Amino acid sequence: MKLQQLATLTTAAFCIGATTHAYAAGGQRVVSHAGTCEMTVPADWKANRLLKSVVNSPDKSIGAVISTAPDFHAMSEVKPIVESAMKPVKVFEDTPRRLWYQYEAPNGGTAWYVGVPGKDGICGSQITFKNPAQADVAKPIALSVKPAS
């Protein structure tokens, strides 16, 4: 690997880590209904009155939900099911540790699915946003999806 490529990758990894850390320090933890999965969103987001695992930005232009699929324990098990319901149009990561892709948003805009293996099933999140520039807000949320601690 060329030194310049290595420097670029290191800088990118640092920026992702710094952005994720910023939410962790000033964000709020959102837990799945089952209590086994979590994600971090900006501190000023509001939870749905009935379903606390559904959250939205103050202007409701970005939304996210975190859930647990307890019957699945590997991304390879859940991948065909989620991809049949939410057909990928762009894949960001497809590994045993994370499935993250964009699918066609039902009401326009952008929609992402993020899934990671958890202790008690697959942790899944759907993140939607109206403006492509909002990907900067959505990306740290996507990277924060994990089993509840």
Q: Which domains does the chain have, with CATH numbers?
A: 3-147 (3.40.1000.10)
Please list the pLDDT of the chain residue by residue as tens digits (149 residues). Answer: 333 332 322 223 333 333 333 454 579 999 999 999 999 999 999 999 999 999 999 999 999 999 999 999 999 999 999 999 999 999 999 999 999 999 998 888 999 999 999 989 999 999 999 999 999 999 999 999 999 98
Q: Report whether 137 contacts 51 (CB < 8 A).
A: no
Helix, coil or strand: residue 22: helix
Count the neighbouring beta carbons within 10 Å of the beta carbon of residue 146: 17
Q: How many CA atoms lie within 13 A of 120 on its CB side?
A: 12
Distance between CA atoms of 83 and 68, rounded to whole angstroms? 16
